[in-house]
Amino acid sequence: MFLWAGSKVAGGQSDQSSVYLRIRENDVLDRRKTETALRAGEDRAVLLGLSMVLLSVMMYFVMGITVLRSYSDSVWTDEVSCTVLNSTVVGLVNCSYSCGPECRRSSSYPCLQVYVSLNSTGRVLLLLHDEETQDGDPQCFFTPKCHRDQAAASALVHNVSERLASRHSVRCFVDPTERAYSAILRRVYDRAAVFHSLFWPTCTLIGGSAIIAMVKLTQYLSIVSERHRRIKT
C-alpha cells in the first residue's frame, strides 16, 4: 500500500513537472515568435526612416539647383511702385509647336511690349512678366504658349494689354544696382518659394530621423529590461 502511494506521488510529481516544462516551452516559443515579429517590424521601421532621410537629401539637392539657385541669381530684389507708360503690340514672333511624334509646325504670337516709369526715380524700364521671360524672349512682356490657333494667342495678348493699360500704377521688382534695363511684374522664386522648397524636405528629414531614433531607443530599453529580468530571476 505504501509503495503504491509512493509511486502515485512520484507519478503525480512527474506529471506536474512535464506540464510545467510544456508551459515553459510554450512561453519560450511565444516569446521567440513575439521577438521575431518585433524585429521584423523594427527592421521595416528603420528601412522607412532611412528611405525618408535619403528622400529628403535628394529633395535638398534638387531644390538647391533649381529654386535656391534661381533665387540667389535673381537681380530683381527691390519692390517699388511703377507707372505704366504704354502697352502696345510691336509685331509677331515666330514659334513652333508639336503636332505629333517627330512633327513640328510653325506659328506666331504677338509681341507685347510694356514700358513703366519708376515713381521714385523716374527711370523708364521695360516691364517683363517674371524671371523666366528674361530667359525666353526679353523683348516681350510674356511668351504665350505656341499652338496652332493664332487667333487665340492674339486674343490673350490683347486682353493682357488692355488690362495693363487700364492700370495706372503697379508694383514691380527692379534691380537695386540699376544694371538691369528691365523690371518684372512678379517674382517666381521669392522667399515664400524658398521656404516651401526647404520646409517639406526638412519635415521628411526630421520624420525619418525620429523614426530611426525611436526604434533604437525601443531596442535599448528592451535590452535593459531583459537584463533586469535576468538579474531578478
- For each of the chain's 233 residues, which pLDDT tens digit applies? 444 444 444 455 555 555 555 555 555 455 555 555 457 667 788 888 889 999 999 998 888 888 888 888 788 888 899 998 888 888 888 877 777 777 777 888 888 898 999 988 888 899 998 888 877 778 888 888 777 777 888 888 888 888 887 877 888 998 888 788 889 988 888 888 888 888 989 999 999 999 888 888 887 877 777 777 777 66
For residue 37, tell me if it sits in a domain.
Answer: no
SS3 of residue 221 by DSSP: helix
Cell numbers linked to 84: 505704366
* pLDDT value for 233: 61
CB–CB of 52/206 below 8 Å? no
For residue 137, tell me if it sits in a domain.
Answer: yes
For residue 163, tell me if it sits in a domain.
Answer: yes
CB–CB of 190/78 below 8 Å? no
For residue 51, tell me if it sits in a domain.
Answer: no
CB–CB of 103/193 below 8 Å? no
User: Residue 206: in which H helix or E strand, if any?
Assistant: helix 191-232
Distances in whole angstroms, Cα of residue 200 to Cα of each of 20, 66, 182, 209: 56, 15, 34, 14
For residue 11, tell me if it sits in a domain.
Answer: no
Say how far apart CA 41 and CA 146 lie, in whole Å: 53
For residue 18, tell me if it sits in a domain.
Answer: no
For residue 192, tell me if it sits in a domain.
Answer: no
* pLDDT value for 88: 86
Q: What is the number of structural domains in the chain?
A: 1
Domain of residue 90: give its range.
74-187
Say how far apart CA 74 and CA 93 lie, in whole Å: 26
* pLDDT value for 96: 79
pLDDT tens-digit readout, 142-166: 888 777 777 888 888 888 888 887 8
Cell numbers linked to 109: 504670337
For residue 151, tell me if it sits in a domain.
Answer: yes
Cell numbers linked to 4: 503504491
